[in-house]
Amino acid sequence: MTKPQTTHFGYKEVPVSEKANHVADVFHSVASRYDLMNDLMSLGVHRFWKWITIQQSGVRPGASVLDIAGGTGDLTAKFADLVGPQGKVVLADINASMLNVGRDRLIDRGKAGNIAYVQANAESLPFPDNYFDVITIAFGLRNVTDKDKALRSMFRVLRPGGQLMVLEFSKPAGWLAPIYDQYSFRVLPTLGKQFTGDAESYQYLAESIRMHPDQSTLKQMMQDAGFERSTYQNMSAGIVALHRGYKF
């Protein structure tokens, strides 16, 4: 089968080789105000979505955790507390600006001893086979160029018995969709322009959510990558879904 020469960047079609650079430009632009914008856009509810993810992770003292697209490190901070001094958390992000912001904030909070920082592409994770007990990717999979390849890469580095958790924007319930569309395409770019001076990045955010696979499709993609007992849990009427899968 011939590989596609283009892929979507929001609603635009761009060469496959260029998408990562386009996504990088978005996050270089918003890195310094990323947490502020998350609070504004979700009215703080993103913290609840992440709390649910952490509660269902089953992370224990001594565990090894990979937080892909970990950005400013809010999940990493919680996992670092859970694994304790005998455990390890790797904060990985393809974007150097996001990774630097996350590292600086975690160090400022005194969380350094059991955290490593790695600039990495989810499609080709630079870790040994069967290495991590838990892998999370929160609001990052939709930005990956080849999602199937990334899922296979995550499967490879996950230990047998380990769990992958994908927290991502998804497809909301039908009754909510028109309201959500109005909010996404009118309010988000306006907030982006007002607080970061960058409306285009938040236009991309809204578009990238619409191009992301729906709940059932992503569940099947995880199964095709090798994950078993794959499930998903809708939150906020499907605006966000938490997908979980295991390696046996």
Give per-residue pLDDT as tens, 83-132. 999 999 999 999 998 899 999 999 998 987 899 999 999 999 999 999 99
CATH of domain 6-11+43-171+214-246: 3.40.50.150
Tokens found for residue 205: 């955010």
What per-residue confidence (pLDDT) applies to 28? 67
What per-residue confidence (pLDDT) applies to 160? 98
What per-residue confidence (pLDDT) applies to 231? 98
For the entire predicted model, the pTM comes to 0.90
H and E: helices and strands count for the chain = 10, 9
Cβ within 8 Å of residue 1, ≥6 positions away: none
Sign, CA dihedral 18-23-25-28, equals: negative
Cβ atoms 165, 244 nearer than 8 A: yes
Binding residues: 72, 93, 121-122
Q: Which residue, among 248, 197, 190, 243, has the nearest Cα to 218 in the 3D structure?
A: 243
pLDDT along the chain (248 residues), means of 10: 75 84 71 71 90 97 97 93 97 92 92 93 97 97 96 98 97 96 92 85 90 97 98 97 98
Sorted by where each begins, the domain ranges of the chain are 6-11+43-171+214-246
Residue matched to tokens 């994950």:
227
Binding residues for S-adenosyl-L-methionine: 72, 93, 121-122
Which residues in 13-29 are b (16+ Cβ under 10 Å) and which e?
eeeeeebbebbbebbeb
What per-residue confidence (pLDDT) applies to 198? 83
Residue matched to tokens 């295991």:
246
What per-residue confidence (pLDDT) applies to 74? 92
Outline where 138-183 has alpha helix (H).
Answer: 147-157, 177-182
Rounded Cα distance, 177 and 172, in Å: 6
